[in-house]
Amino acid sequence: MITQKRRSTLKFDRSVCLSGKMSSRQVLLSVLATAAVTATLVEVYHAYRKHTKQEKPSPTITTGTISAQNQYPEELIQEQLARNYAFLTEEGMRKVRKQRIVIVGAGGVGSWVATMLARSGVEKLRIIDFDQVSLSSLNRHSVATLKDVGISKVECLKTHLLEIVPWIDIEVYKKLWNLESADELILGNSFEPTFVVDCIDNLDTKCDLLTFCYQKNIPVVSSGGAATKSDPTRINLADISKTEEDPLTKKIRVILKKRGILEGIPVVFSAEKPDPRKAKLLPLPDEEFEKGQVDQLSALKDFRVRILPVLGTMPGMFGLAIATYILTTVSGYPMEPIEGKNRYKVYDDLIKSLGAQQYRIGEEDQRIRISTQDASYLLEEVFRGKSPISNHSSRLTLSRWDPSKEISLQNVVIMTKEEQRVHEKRVLLGGESIENVYSKPVLDLVKQRLEDEAYYSQFR
């Protein structure tokens, strides 16, 4: 709940903005007074912390559960999270703060997930990673410094995050997650996670974690491969069944399919296409293979031994995307990810499919007054990358909807090729009414999407 003092400040701010009747001097004095109160609280808190530190030493960060400092004033917590409260609403933030999230993997992606969830108000985190901070980690880790090189990644994260958000509880486990330790690390000490985040870069372990969560009905979100990727506009969020141009998730999909898992796992990945001019997985030198037993070069048995070229910004963006997905999902904030948003050839094909339809239904004027940019807008923004008829996102076309109206942005609908053929046969050529061909939910959805276009068009 937002405190009474905070409510009074917000109420005053709103009245000033709405009425415009107060003088500049009064506004300035009020702002200064509010700032003074906040500054005083901060100083009191720091004095208290300094006093308590003199009385007893800070606890050493070790594997397992460490109690967080719970004396941080609630008023300061809400002030620190004020922008999130404004965005997600008080009810949404109440849900966010109650989350219990497990993050498996504390490297380039996982460290950013942990950092942003902590900064955003999540009050219980469990972070699992067996590895240490290395010098080469510093190009992508969210908080590690030179002084952290050589210490465990989980200890590094805990130390720094408690400096930023001292009121949260962080459990750290410097262990390798595997099926043998799964129950202990995910569910131990009655943690009851509300979300698990998979930031593992080993294929077998990754698949085991996703399978474990799927079978236990624990919500999980997974990170695809950020290595060798460099285009931020190609980062996607989609179900595991619909990822593209990501070799790691492709292999995961094959393995999970054999285990009976076809969908239901959201993944952040990059749809950036490979290019001979771009970075690749670096092979081991021939002399290392000649020595034999190359597996001994890996940090752990069965883990990769080759170097993954990583542009440091990309793991951070993957982590931020995952954190954003979790925050909006648990708070109830509306978010509808666009699947396959980087299908540039698809946009051109949509225009061609509409032109071909004009020919098939006997229209003399086959010119299409819809551009490729319009097709992109219709597919991604208006129809959310899917057919409103079947919810499918593959083999898509663009079709005239109502035969009594001219083609326009408000009289074309995204549908699959099969649906386009049926629509032509029954509606455009057969003369059946749209109401007789489609169910009410489909008609309502199409109507809503076209109304959305009418609204969006005001700003284009």
The pLDDT tens digits of the residues spanning 25-59 come to 554 445 445 545 555 555 555 555 555 444 434 33
Q: Across the chain, what does the average pLDDT equal?
A: 82
The pLDDT of residue 41 is: 53
Residues 432 and 381 in one domain: yes
Asked which of 331, 361, 396 is the last residue of a domain, the reply is 331
Does a structural domain hold residue 88? yes
Lowest mean per-residue pLDDT among 50-54, 153-157, 174-178, 260-264: 50-54
Structure tokens at 66: 């460490």
Residue 118 exposed, middle or buried by CB count within 10 Å (0-12, 13-18, 19+): buried
The pLDDT of residue 24 is: 45
16 pLDDT more than 50 = no
Lowest mean per-residue pLDDT among 92-96, 328-332, 375-379: 375-379
Structure tokens at 110: 């996982």
Q: Tell me the CA end-to-end span of the chain in Å, nearest whole number.
A: 39
Residues 51 and 69 in one domain: no
The pLDDT-based confidence of 268 (bands split at 50, 70, 90) is: very high
CA–CA distances in Å: residue 404 to residues 400, 429, 444: 10, 12, 19
pTM: 0.66
364 pLDDT more than 90 = no
Query: How big is the chain, counted in residues?
Result: 460
Q: State residue 396 phi and psi, 5-degree precision.
A: -90, 150
Residue 172 exposed, middle or buried by CB count within 10 Å (0-12, 13-18, 19+): buried
CA–CA distances in Å: residue 450 to residues 376, 384, 401, 409, 410: 15, 12, 10, 8, 5
- Mean pLDDT computed over 209-221: 97
Does a structural domain hold residue 435? yes
Asked which of 36, 55, 74 is the last residue of a domain, the reply is 55
Percent of the chain residues topping a pLDDT of 90: 59
CA–CA distances in Å: residue 118 to residues 66, 111, 133, 192, 363: 16, 11, 20, 18, 59
The pLDDT of residue 341 is: 58
Residues 102 and 141 in one domain: yes
163 pLDDT more than 70 = yes
The pLDDT of residue 59 is: 35
CATH number of the domain encompassing residue 272: 3.40.50.720
Residues 126 and 106 in one domain: yes
- Mean pLDDT computed over 208-234: 93
**CA atoms of 421 and 424, how far apart (whole Å):** 5
- Is residue 415 within 8 A of residue 424, CB to CB? The reply is no
Model pLDDT for residues 122-131, shown as the tens digit of each residue: 999 999 999 9
- Is residue 315 within 8 A of residue 109, CB to CB? The reply is yes
Structure tokens at 32: 């200064």
**169-173 and 64-66: which strand pairing?**
antiparallel
84 pLDDT more than 50 = yes
The pLDDT of residue 410 is: 93
- Is residue 45 within 8 A of residue 79, CB to CB? The reply is no
Element (H, E) at 197: strand 195-198
Does a structural domain hold residue 354? yes
Does a structural domain hold residue 337? no
- Host domain of residue 272: 64-331
CA-atom Rg of the chain in angstroms: 27
Structure tokens at 125: 């985190």
Of 230, 236, 233, 249, give the one whose Cα is nearest residue 325: 236
Does a structural domain hold residue 338? no
The pLDDT-based confidence of 8 (bands split at 50, 70, 90) is: very low
Angle (CA) 370-242-376 rounded to 5° is 15
The pLDDT of residue 54 is: 45
Instruction: Tally Cβ neighbours within 10 Å of residue 189.
Output: 10
Residues contacting 420, CB < 8 A, separation 6+: 353, 357, 397, 399
Of 205, 208, 207, 209, give the one whose Cα is nearest residue 197: 209
Residues 324 and 348 in one domain: no
The pLDDT-based confidence of 160 (bands split at 50, 70, 90) is: very high
Task: Indicate the number of domains in the chain.
Answer: 3
Residues 30 and 83 in one domain: no
Does a structural domain hold residue 68? yes
374 pLDDT more than 50 = yes
**CA atoms of 166 and 170, how far apart (whole Å):** 10
Residues 427 and 305 in one domain: no
Residues 311 and 421 in one domain: no
Residues 445 and 305 in one domain: no
Which residues sit opposite 266 in a β-bridge? 239
CA–CA distances in Å: residue 57 to residues 47, 54, 281: 16, 7, 46
Asked which of 331, 362, 394 is the last residue of a domain, the reply is 331
The pLDDT of residue 346 is: 82
Residues 253 and 149 in one domain: yes
- Beta-strand (E) ranges in 199-347? 220-223, 235-239, 266-270
199 pLDDT more than 90 = yes
- Mean pLDDT computed over 212-218: 97
Model pLDDT for residues 378-435, shown as the tens digit of each residue: 998 899 889 999 999 888 999 999 999 989 999 999 999 999 999 999 999 999 999 9
Residues 139 and 39 in one domain: no
Structure tokens at 164: 């930023």
Residues 39 and 89 in one domain: no
The pLDDT-based confidence of 301 (bands split at 50, 70, 90) is: very low
Of 102, 303, 106, 82, give the one whose Cα is nearest residue 189: 102
Does a structural domain hold residue 336? no
**CA atoms of 149 and 99, how far apart (whole Å):** 30
Does a structural domain hold residue 42? yes
